[in-house]
Amino acid sequence: MARALANECSTDDKKVAFFMRKGADCLSKWVGESERQLRLLFVQAYQMRPSIIFFDEIDGLAPVRSSRQDQIHSSIVSTLLALMDGLDSRGEIVVIGATNRIDSIDPALRRPGRFDREFLFPLPDKKSRHDILKIHTSKWDPPLSSNFIETIAEKTVGYCGADLKALCTEATLNALRKSFPQIYATNDKLKFDVDKIKIGPNNFYRAMKVRKCPIFPYPTI
């Protein structure tokens, strides 16, 4: 989403630079290195402004500070807060964070002037699940019928996009095991024709027993 925003805001005359960091990727075993990398990131974003900095899983980078929290994490959070406070004078830098655990983020980051706008992205509805399944199965031969995709979309309430992708992958593996059971009976390299793998409703139903909904772990099939 953040990358798409950067592309949309770019013009022929001026491009928007995009920087993406995973929360855990910013952490280092060396004392002070994480803070240094954060400062370098903001300096680089300023030099290439206009720019967008996107922190994925930001709860891993800036968790709630407490008496039990180690000093290293507290120092990283304090550094990030100071960098966010200094953005007003720099301008043309947008910082976006994403998390599935909003309560795990330090409250100071959610105050006005920092991450002061929050957007909730709910789980996909039936139509969205249908579209996601259609994307992940578009290259299958033979293709799944629209009615069957509709049925699976109805039965996957509570699944997110990643869950639906994993469901399609599990259905593929199930069809592979059924078509070529010998691959699990030997350590030798085997050559087989992937065109012979046919993925059908039964493979999906078996996959749903393995890839259960994280919210409703016992789907009715």
Per-residue pLDDT of the chain (221 residues; tens, 9 = 90+): 555 555 666 656 678 888 988 877 777 677 777 888 888 888 888 888 888 889 888 888 877 776 555 566 678 888 888 888 876 655 688 888 888 888 888 888 888 878 878 888 888 999 999 999 999 988 887 888 889 999 999 988 888 888 999 999 999 888 888 877 766 666 666 666 666 777 878 888 888 888 776 655 444 44
Give the position of tokens 């592979």.
176
Instruction: Note the pLDDT of residue 220.
Output: 40
Output the pLDDT for position 134: 92
Integer Cα distance of 15 and 90 in angstroms? 18
* Residue 117, pLDDT score: 84
Domains of the chain: 2-110 (3.40.50.300), 126-210 (1.10.8.60)
Number of neighbours of residue 81 by Cβ within 10 angstroms: 16
Q: Which amino acid is at 37?
A: Q
50: left (phi over 0), alpha (psi -120 to 50) or beta: beta
pLDDT number for residue 209: 85
